[in-house]
Structure 1
């Protein structure tokens, strides 16, 4: 599966498997890849979530590719973090801790 976006006026298609996670920035989304720098696209995270149905929403502003999740850390105060294959650690919102722990653990 691929996703299309415009970068510097050039339309590009990239394999979804190369996307590590997406970060929402208002009406824009920043796509973070495994093998290259991030790209800002003019679609809100909700639109991107509709296209990337197997991705997991871990926060109001974060959508993660489950293929790149290497671990989950559950704290004792309803806090949690996701560890990604690229070495990043992302927080899970308190409202989504139970859902995420059931999906991934």
Structure 2
């Protein structure tokens, strides 16, 4: 039986082709613009260290800010992002203000829906 080295199984992604990543313990599901989802044996922290322009919006979600369609803020503790592929990703309640501030320069003004002012 032939064994493959771990280096042969690694995927190399172009960050521009990544919509978002969903983490699950020591694995990440990488969702691409093409519609494919690939399981990676890397953590979200590993990706966030290498792709500093990506934004950690939740404990389990890392997004490409260039692929965000809109942001829906329901209250000061409930908000989510709608990605270009239609996926709805929750924003962690403690990260809402930070994420909106980071995305405000990238998103058009009408894409932040129901903005809740404190």
The TM tier, using the shorter chain, reads 0.7 to 0.9
1:80-105 CA-partner distances (Å, limit 9, x unpaired): 11011111111101010010111112
Query: Under a length normalisation based on structure 2, what TM-score does the superposition of the two structures give?
Result: 0.76
Whole-Å separation in 1 of the counterparts to 2:75 and 2:11? 43
Could you tell me how far apart the structure 2 residues matched to 1:29 and 1:101 are?
Answer: 24
Unpaired runs of 5+ residues, structure 2, are 1-5, 105-118
1:11-30 alpha-carbon deviations (Å, 9 max, x no partner): 54332111000011111111
Residues 21-58 of structure 1 deviation map (CA, whole Å, 9 limit, x = unaligned): 00111111110111032111111111111011100100
What's the Cα RMSD here?
1.6
- Structure 1 segments (4+ residues) deviating >6 Å: none
Q: 1:11 to 1:59 in 2, by over 3 A?
A: closer
Structure 1 or 2: larger strand share? 1
Residue ranges of structure 1 left out of the alignment (5+ in a row): 1-5
The structure whose Rg is larger is: 2
Q: For 1:52 and 1:12, how far apart are their aligned partners in 2?
A: 15
TM-score, length of structure 1 as denominator length: 0.85
- 1:87 maps to 86
1:17-36 aligned within 5 A: 17-36=16-35
